[in-house]
Amino acid sequence: MGEAIRSARMDRELSQRDLAGMIGHSTSNSYIVRVEKGQIKIGLEQLMKIADALGVRVDDLIDF
């Protein structure tokens, strides 16, 4: 999932700091860094915020 988030973020030319701000994590990029590296588990609500910010569907970010 982290790689899919990173890929979608980079496709949209967003920095980790930009994405963090878009989902309400101030201007700190450390949260997005940890998500993309798979160091933390995120809940459905956070995943939905990230998907919305990236303009993708939640299932586009999940590996089945």
Helix axes 2-11, 44-54, angle to 10 degrees: 20
Structural domains in the chain (count)? 1
The model's pTM is 0.90
Tokens 């590296």 -> residue: 37
User: What does the block give as tokens for 45?
Assistant: 């609500």
Range of the domain at 28: 2-61
The CATH number of residue 38's host domain is 1.10.260.40
- pLDDT tens across the length of the chain (64 residues): 999 999 999 999 999 999 999 999 876 789 999 999 999 999 999 999 999 999 999 999 997 7
| Chain length of the chain | 64
